[in-house]
């Protein structure tokens, strides 16, 4: 049994007990045995036992957890079966203790009890529905005429709550669509299912629709992407809501419409964290996350907290974001020690101090300078942080016996045309160099752009739209791979669990997305009249990103979203020589760091750079 004894539940329990007494008394009256059954006071005690059995069975059927404001046929069937079962159990119990009641009394009482229990709950539903309508009728703003896409369970909930003037579901349901032919021309709460998703534009015009609600969260990513593509071609505002089947019963009443965002339009399949793999190397351990306050690092901490590490050490240069993340994790996970340490990975003494103090067994190295144009202007900083900062953390992990080390790399490390990409490729080399001789399992994970991260185009475009435009794009043909921060992080954690040492893991980024298409979709979703302006490629920027070099291939893993890049090995001596030369040039004023970086990373394709 799983119910909380709220005030509402307490009143229902009292009512159900009284209803049981009333049902048996009325049943005895209707069967003309009331004098015989109620001849002595013992029957009242026995009916109390029957009432207790009844409420226990109702609780087992979770009928005290239901939100009766939204009750329907399913709840009515639950009441019928629970009353039938409790009556049967009660009859058997009385027979065992040798208390005889006529069978016809049990039958009559059960029928009456179904009506008493169901009737009360339906009255509750009608009362609350009318109460909401009255409460919101005068002060509620005008509700947009709405088309609901999906005539399933979620669509029915949406329509029902809109009709009841639920403030979380603003809109007047006018018409619905569904791609299931068997649902065509049927009605849901009086609203007609008038066609399929292909009919949406015509229905919008015919019924003067102002808002479209996509209520098909169980559809495949491809199906959702196709439907959104149709919807955004209209001038309607576009909303959606979560899959109600994935929610607890007490959460359904709080489900609210939300704006469709660009993540929905990508239509990527949701990645679920395999807690079995993650727990195998994280649970009960101290985990260090460098760059832990950043967009990737902070999500790593959130996902890692779900698999019960003993301690998470957040290491970052910027104390504000790290502190806010620490407070968030402490609120949600009071059994995990969450520590913030402020410092720079370029400071070897500080890095050594962290490893000495906490002795982490798992390290996620997310600290990096990632802004491509800025690193073109500051190549020394990029090399210091992305190469030698990585080297510092790798050396300390090796000398302190860390079990696993996962380096967050990027698709820009593949045939790099930017300083940032070249330094990340050099970081991969450092990792593979140590992986050959160390007991620590070193691995790298390469992926493309993540939506919503610091420096992502999405926040920039949204700010430009809010300011009235224009949206600035470097080139009409520029493409990028995209995934959400949570799914990238989940795959990173799972890749760490299957690593053997020295691998460069490649995440399945799906199909590349044209940036101009992304911008146009954002403009449509915002409803703004904003122009797009092309400003030319920036230094170090590619038109197309790649996940593999020309001499690399991939081999699959057990997870279809994670692959391993195959590439020729590089000797210890060669990597050591590259590191030494880079160190000399970076430390020497006026040294040509770009030429040195080109020499260190043969696949680095030099583009035009201003003098440094």
Which residues participate in catalysis according to the annotation?
A: 412
Residue count (the chain): 612
- What SS3 class is residue 183? helix
Report which of 173, 184, 50, 58 is spatially closest to residue 121, judged by C-alpha positions: 58
Torsion angle of the four alpha carbons 372, 378, 379, 380, in this order, in degrees rounded to the nearest 10: -140
Structure tokens at 86: 């409790």
For the CA atoms of 191, 196, 199, 201, the dihedral, rounded to the nearest 10 degrees, stands at 70
Virtual torsion, Cα 251, 253, 257, 260, nearest 10 deg: 20
Q: How many CA atoms lie within 13 A of 376 on its CB side?
A: 16
**Among all chains, which residue has been given the structure tokens 């009916």?**
47
459 Rama class: left (phi>0) / alpha (psi -120 to 50) / beta = alpha
Q: Look at strands 211-214 and 237-240 and give their pairing.
A: parallel
Lookup: tokens for 63? 């009928």
Q: How far from chain centre, in Å, is Cα 350?
A: 35
- C-alpha to C-alpha distance for 7 and 141, rounded to whole angstroms: 32
Give strand pairing partners of 149.
177, 214
- Spatial neighbors of 492 by CB under 8 A, at least 6 apart, are 300, 364, 406, 408, 445, 447, 507
Please say whether the beta carbons of 4 and 66 come within 8 A: no
Neighbours of 240 (CB within 10 A): 23
Residue with tokens 């059954």: 37
Q: What are phi and psi for residue 101, nearest 5 degrees?
A: -125, 145
């Amino acid at each position: 049994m799983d119910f909380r004894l709220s005030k509402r539940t307490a009143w229902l329990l009292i009512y159900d007990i009284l209803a049981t007494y009333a049902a048996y008394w009325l049943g005895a009256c209707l069967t003309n045995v009331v004098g015989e059954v109620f001849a002595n006071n013992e029957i009242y005690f026995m009916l109390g036992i029957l009432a207790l059995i009844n409420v226990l069975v109702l609780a087992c059927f979770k009928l005290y957890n239901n939100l009766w404001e939204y009750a329907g046929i399913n709840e009515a069937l639950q009441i019928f079966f629970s009353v039938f079962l409790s009556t049967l159990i009660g009859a058997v119990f009385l027979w065992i203790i040798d208390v005889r009641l006529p069978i016809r009394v049990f039958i009559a009482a059960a029928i009456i009890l179904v009506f008493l229990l169901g009737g009360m709950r339906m009255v509750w539903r009608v009362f609350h529905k009318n109460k909401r309508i009255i409460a919101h009728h005068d002060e509620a703003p005008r509700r947009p005429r709405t088309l609901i896409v999906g005539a399933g369970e979620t669509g029915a909930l949406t329509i029902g709550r809109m009709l009841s003037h639920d403030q979380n579901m603003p809109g007047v349901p006018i018409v619905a669509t569904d791609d299931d032919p068997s649902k065509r021309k049927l009605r849901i709460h009086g609203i007609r299912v008038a066609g399929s998703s292909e009919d949406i534009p015509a229905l919008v015009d015919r019924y003067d629709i102002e808002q479209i609600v996509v209520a098909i969260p169980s559809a495949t990513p491809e199906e959702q992407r196709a439907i959104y593509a149709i919807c955004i071609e209209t001038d309607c505002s576009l909303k959606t809501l979560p899959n109600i089947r994935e929610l607890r019963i007490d959460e359904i009443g709080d489900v609210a419409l939300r704006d469709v965002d660009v993540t929905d339009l990508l239509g990527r399949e949701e990645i679920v964290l395999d807690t079995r793999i993650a727990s195998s190397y994280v649970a009960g351990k101290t985990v260090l996350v460098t760059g832990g306050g950043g967009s990737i690092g902070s999500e790593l901490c959130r996902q890692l907290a779900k698999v019960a590490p003993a301690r998470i050490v957040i290491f970052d240069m910027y104390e504000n974001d790290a502190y806010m993340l620490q407070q968030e994790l402490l609120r949600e996970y009071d059994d995990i020690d969450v520590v913030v340490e402020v410092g720079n990975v370029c400071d070897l003494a500080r890095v050594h101090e962290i490893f000495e103090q906490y002795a982490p067994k798992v390290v996620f190295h997310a600290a990096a300078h990632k802004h491509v144009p800025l690193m073109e202007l500051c190549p020394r900083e990029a090399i210091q942080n992305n190469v030698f900062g990585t080297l510092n953390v790798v050396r300390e992990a090796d000398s302190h016996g860390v079990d696993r080390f996962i380096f967050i790399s990027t698709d820009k490390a593949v045939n790099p045309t930017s300083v940032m990409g070249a330094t990340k490729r050099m970081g991969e080399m450092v990792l593979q160099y140590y992986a050959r001789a160390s007991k620590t399992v070193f691995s790298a994970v390469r992926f493309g752009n993540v939506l919503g991260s610091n420096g992502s185009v999405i926040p920039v475009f949204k700010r430009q739209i809010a300011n009235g435009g224009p949206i600035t794009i470097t080139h009409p043909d520029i493409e990028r791979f995209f995934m959400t921060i949570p799914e990238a992080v989940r795959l990173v954690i799972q890749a760490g669990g299957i690593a053997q040492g020295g691998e460069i893991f490649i995440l399945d980024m799906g199909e590349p997305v044209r940036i101009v298409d992304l911008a146009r979709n954002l403009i449509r979703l915002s409803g703004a009249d904003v122009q797009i302006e092309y400003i030319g490629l920036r230094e170090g920027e590619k038109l197309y990103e790649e996940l593999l070099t020309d001499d690399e291939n991939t081999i699959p893993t057990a997870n279809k979203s994670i692959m391993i890049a195959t590439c020729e090995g590089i000797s210890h001596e060669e990597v050591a020589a590259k590191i030494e030369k880079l160190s000399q040039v970076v430390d020497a004023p006026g040294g040509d760091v770009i030429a040195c970086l080109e020499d260190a990373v043969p696949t680095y394709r030099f583009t035009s750079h201003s003098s440094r």
